[in-house]
Amino acid sequence: MPRRRWRLAPLAAALLVTLVAPARAAAPVPFVLHLAGPGEGTPLVIRGRLVDGFGTPLAGVSVRVYHADLHGEYGKYDGTLTTGANGVYEVRTTRPGSYGGYAAHVHYVVTRGSTRQYFQLLFADDVRKREPAEKKKFPVLSDSLLRLWKAPKHGLHTEEVRPVVIGSDRVHRVERDLQLR
């Protein structure tokens, strides 16, 4: 019988170590967010910085980024990052689709403390640049225009049309800085 006890002792020791060992903390969300993999559409890289109202970079702030897929449906491309040193962030995804005649766009929700601010990125090479003409709610936006508008459910949004640079690697690149009010 003593042999059986010794055979089980290493297993019992491993279980005991597993049970009393401290749990590992979750790895922090990096400032690079991968929403899409290769082959999921036209590759898009968005880079920018998050700054406060005085232009001071904000590191360690949570930013949710999401957009519609090529068919205009939400849910697939949605994630959260934490800004890096100097407030930098990068999103690697695919060009969003549009829906209902709206321009293709990317949503940002910046959470700092108990406050949230909403941003949108529109693309200068998208001829729609905003809502369908029949809605007559907003005029077509010019390139690099920054505008504030109030959304019924989310309050004030900061919306900006930004130019798209297409590299020799066929990756579409956009820079979009976010400035908190």
Please state, in angstroms and rounded to a whole number, the distance separating the CA atoms of residues 158 and 149.
7
Q: What is the pTM of this model?
A: 0.73
For the chain, the residue count is 181
In a domain, 19, yes or no: no
Output phi, psi for 16, to 5 deg. -65, -45
Number of structural domains, the chain?
1
CA 51-53-58 angle, 5° bins: 25
Alpha-carbon 144 to chain mean position: 20
Please state, in angstroms and rounded to a whole number, the distance separating the CA atoms of residues 88 and 48.
6
From edge to edge, which strands make up the β-sheet containing 105-112? 77-82, 62-67, 105-112, 115-123, 155-162, 146-151
With cut-offs at 50, 70 and 90, classify the pLDDT of residue 155.
low
pLDDT digits (tens, 9 = 90+) for 110-146: 999 998 999 999 898 886 655 444 444 444 445 455 5
In a domain, 51, yes or no: yes
Q: Percentage of residues in the chain with pLDDT exceeding 70?
A: 67
In a domain, 89, yes or no: yes
In a domain, 134, yes or no: yes
In a domain, 2, yes or no: no
In a domain, 124, yes or no: yes
In a domain, 63, yes or no: yes
Evaluate if residue 24 carries a pLDDT over 80.
no
In a domain, 147, yes or no: yes
CA 72-128-89 angle, 5° bins: 65
Evaluate if residue 13 carries a pLDDT over 90.
no
Range of the domain at 88: 28-179
pLDDT digits (tens, 9 = 90+) for 65-85: 999 998 889 999 999 999 999
Segment 87-115 mean pLDDT: 91
Output the pLDDT for position 39. 81
Strands, DSSP E only, in the chain?
32-34, 43-51, 62-67, 77-82, 88-94, 105-112, 115-123, 146-151, 155-162, 165-166, 172-175, 178-179
- Domain containing 113 — which CATH number? 2.60.130.10
